[in-house]
Amino acid sequence: MTRLSYLWMTQMNLFGEIPLSLGTLTELEHLDLAWNSLNGTIPGWIWKLEKLEYLYLFANKFSGEINGTIGALGLVELDVSKNQLFGPIPEDIGKLKNLSLLFMYDNGFSGEIPASIGLLPNLYDLRLFNNSLMGVLPPELGKHSELWNLEVQLNRISGELPQHLCTGKNLTSVSVFDNKFTGQVPASLGDCSTLNNIQLYRNGFTGDFPSGIWTATNLTTVIIKDNSLSGTLPDELLWNLTRLEMENNRFSGKIPSSAKNLLVFNAGNNLFSGEISAALAGMSRLQILSLGGNQISGSIPLAVSALTSLNTLDLSDNRLSGEIPAALGYLPSLTSLDLSGNQLSGEIPPAIGKLKFVFLNLSSNQLSGEIPSSLQNQAYELSFLADPGLCSSTNSIKNLPTCSYQSGGLDKVSKGLLVVLLLLGAVFFLAVVAIGFLMVKRRRSMDGDDLAFWKLTSFHTLDFTEHNIVRGLTESNSIGSGGSGKVYRIVLGNRAGEIVAVKKIWNGRKLDSKLEKEFQAEVEILGSIRHANIVKLLCCITKDDSRLLVYEYMENGSLDQWLHKAQGRDTGSGRSNPLDWPTRLGIAIGGARGLSYMHHDCSPPIMHRDVKSSNILLSSGFGAKIADFGLARMLVKVGEPESVSAIAGSFGYMAPECGYLRKIDEKVDVFSFGVVLLELVTGREANDGGEHGCLADWAWHRYQEGSRLIDIIDEEIQNALLYLDEMEVVFRLGLFCTGKTPSGRPSMKEVLQVLIKCDPRLEAPNRLHREFDAAPLLQTKKGSRRESLSDADEGEGHKYLAGLV
């Protein structure tokens, strides 16, 4: 036993103090006692284990101070979070030159953070939140290491943020809310292109917010409310941004007109002015829009009708005029509406009365007429104050007079209706003329000599020509677009009535000869692939400035549509119900088969580089096929290294090493597929991590907190209790795949083996020979933190797993 180097006893229901006998394990390198009920002080002999590299004591009941000299100078990761420790953070931690991860959150530590921690050359993840720390952050923090994550929220830290947080060009998350910070937000953060989460709220920051932050392409969450910050917003917010909360500051200028994926936009109590753009329709996923307490003028645009996911709308205390759009009454999810304190006039649209409000306030406007009958009850007694022109047909609302009807009202409505109908007729006529002109012009162009320049390279026997494909590239056949191109569904006029999917790759210029040869080589490799779980590439059609990839058409669309978009469930197959668990598991196995084939049965291995639920397509029988294999590589410019700039990956699915390794391997696909597994179990989108930024981090935090699986899984499958064990294995496998370092993740062959073991429909003779079995690990309740599961050295970790089986 004295030669033991790896001891993992997490979630073993241990209690009492750590026995002194463990102090004799002088060869110990990895000690994990997390998720137990151990108490007392942390014994001083632990810090004298000179070979100790990984120490995890989190989620116990340890108390007291950390005393004694730290002699374990080789420590790489130290986690004592979620205990009852107090006193100062030891100065000796600043001597741990190999330390990369330091977690001491959810304790009672006090005093200042040792300045020497800022000098550690390998520190990339620092989490000290929810303590009683004071003083300032180490001024050198981030200057000497590639800092990746900083969480010091819920303390009493003051002073300014260090200037060098992003010097290592790797910073993704900064959470310092609920402290006493002052001064300006460092301008250097404006050059930090890797940022995806910044939470500075409830501090005393002043001055201009760095405008460069709005250009960080991975940015998903910005919460900077309750400060004294100023500045302006760009006209278009980047597509990744899902949450922007900046109320109670001094921002000015106009409201952005576009933010495609924004879910929460709270900018109340600032100095924004101008009108709300009709391009507001570009925020179609918005759930909360709060702009109260600004200087916004003009009318409420009709484009608000495009915000079909909106549940909260606050435009109070502005300078809005005109009428309340009737379109507001047709927003199916709207439950909170505050338009008070404006200059709105006219009647309250009857459609507003059809909504089921939790909160409604239309007070202090210039509204007139009878309020809708469904709103004439005491629940809305405070909703119509200081609107002297309003009336009620009953006496149910105090301070509102009873309506007196006049015959002229009907004539007024009729005239208004006539004007609206005439305008709509004119707009419709002009639209028909314009569309007809464009169609004629396009047909002439298509029927001309342009077709002669297309070249078709086939990989299968075809019953169509390039002319059939090119003529089908019409707007009516378009079914989607993304970062790599536009997709068309084309019904061919051949005898079989074949349907194909055509991807037109974005490219506005002629390719040089080197890139042309690389593109052709990639396409020929992909065209030669024959596998049941990979979408078949039928042919490639090219000309100087365009590339068309023609694939077999998948009747049931993408997994993304079925998991996240209710309208995508009605695909014409006659099935519109959500995916049940056996179907989800079958999809996971099919996707794993396709990836495993490309990684392990092709020579050389082929990476996908952009695995995501929208690239997993479903046949009529819900068989899964991987789409867009190799397309990310085809889009790389000549001379670019295989780094993050050369990967067409999507936020939420990209592995951490894409941000710092110059050469990546197929483990990036494993990470992305792990996110897909988490989507299948939870029903959440890859970038839906709330304050944690992305789904992978959210899932790990929920797991670490000990959340019940029933509270995590998709509500669409919560009644399928028969399959709860399988869901738990797949969820834990998703965590395992999304480990932080590539070497700790399983291969796709290993992932496939675990998934096959989950499916009782697969008979034993059809199962693969077990080369690796992660099931014992995955079935351990509330295992250790993700880094200790999947980020340990691969050889040692697998050796340890073999001992568990």
Question: Rounded mean pLDDT of the chain?
Answer: 83
Phi and psi at residue 101, to the nearest 5°: -135, 125
Highest mean pLDDT among 47-61, 681-695, 777-791: 47-61
Q: What are phi and psi of 350, to 5 degrees?
A: -55, -30
**What pLDDT score was predicted for residue 407?**
41
Residue 101 has pLDDT above 90, yes or no: yes
Confidence band for 566, pLDDT divided at 50, 70 and 90: low
Contact 346, 370 (CB under 8 A): no
Among candidate residues 32, 178, 317, 610, the one labeled active-site is 610
What does the alpha-carbon distance between residue 665 and residue 742 come to, in Å, rounded to a whole number?
Answer: 8
Closest of 606, 539, 618 to residue 579, by C-alpha? 618
Structure confidence by residue, pLDDT tens digits, 705-729 = 888 888 899 988 988 878 888 999 9
CA dihedral 709, 714, 715, 721 (to 10 degrees): -50
Buried b (16+ CB within 10 A) or exposed e, 319-337: ebeeebbebbbbbeebebb
Highest mean pLDDT among 39-43, 326-330, 503-507 belongs to: 39-43
Whole-number Å distance between alpha carbons of 667 and 629 = 15
Asked whether the predicted pLDDT for residue 384 surpasses 70, the reply is: yes
- With bands split at pLDDT 50, 70 and 90, how would you rate the model's confidence at 783? very low
Confidence of residue 114 (pLDDT cuts 50, 70, 90): very high
Sign, Cα dihedral of 754, 760, 761, 763: positive
pLDDT at 116 over 90: yes
In the prediction, which pLDDT does 641 show?
39
Query: Which among 743, 654, 649 is positioned nearest to 697, based on CA atoms?
Result: 654
Residue 64 has pLDDT above 90, yes or no: yes
At 516, the pLDDT band (50, 70, 90 cuts) reads low
CA distance 676 to 616: 9
Give pLDDT tens digits for 414-423.
555 666 677 7
The two tokens of residue 515 are 């890139």
CA distances from 98 to 34, 72, 75, 101, 145 (A): 22, 10, 6, 9, 11
- Residue 239: the pLDDT is 76
pLDDT value at 571 more than 70: no
pLDDT of residue 437: 60
Whether the pLDDT of residue 450 is over 60: the answer is no
What pLDDT is attached to residue 468? Answer: 86
Of the candidates 489, 642, 503, the residue with the CA atom closest to the CA atom of residue 557 = 489
DSSP letter assigned to residue 545? T
Catalogue the long-range contacts made by 479-484 (C-beta closer than 8 Å, 24 or more residues apart). Answer: 482/614, 483/648, 483/650, 484/610, 484/628, 484/631, 484/632, 484/635, 484/648
Q: Around 10, how many Cα atoms within 13 Å sit in the side-chain half-sphere?
A: 24
Of 284, 280, 271, 176, nearest in space to 230 by CA: 271
User: Alpha helix (H) ranges present in 642-742?
Assistant: 667-682, 695-704, 724-737
Instruction: Give every CB contact of residue 324 below 8 A, 6+ residues apart in sequence.
Output: 300, 339, 344, 346, 348, 349, 352, 362, 367
Binding residue numbers for ATP: 504
User: Which of 313-322, 328-337, 473-482 bottoms out in mean pLDDT, i.e. has the lowest?
Assistant: 473-482
User: Which residue spans within 446-536 are E strands per DSSP?
Assistant: 455-458, 478-481, 485-491, 499-505
Q: What's the average model confidence in pLDDT over 348-359?
A: 90
pLDDT of 508 above 90: no
729 vs 516, more confident: 729
Query: Does the annotation count 545 as an active-site position?
Result: no
Residue 676: how many CA atoms within 13 Å on its side-chain side?
31
Confidence of residue 517 (pLDDT cuts 50, 70, 90): low
pLDDT tens-digit map of 77-92 = 999 999 999 999 999 9
HSE, CB side, 13 Å, CA atoms: give it for residue 141.
24
d(CA 733, CA 754): 8
Neighbours of 208 (CB within 10 A): 15
651 or 272, higher pLDDT: 272
Q: Average pLDDT of 152-177?
A: 95
The pLDDT tens digits for 741-758 are 888 899 999 999 999 988
Tracing tokens 């989108």 back to the chain, one arrives at 685
In whole angstroms, what is the distance from residue 694 CA to residue 687 CA?
Answer: 4
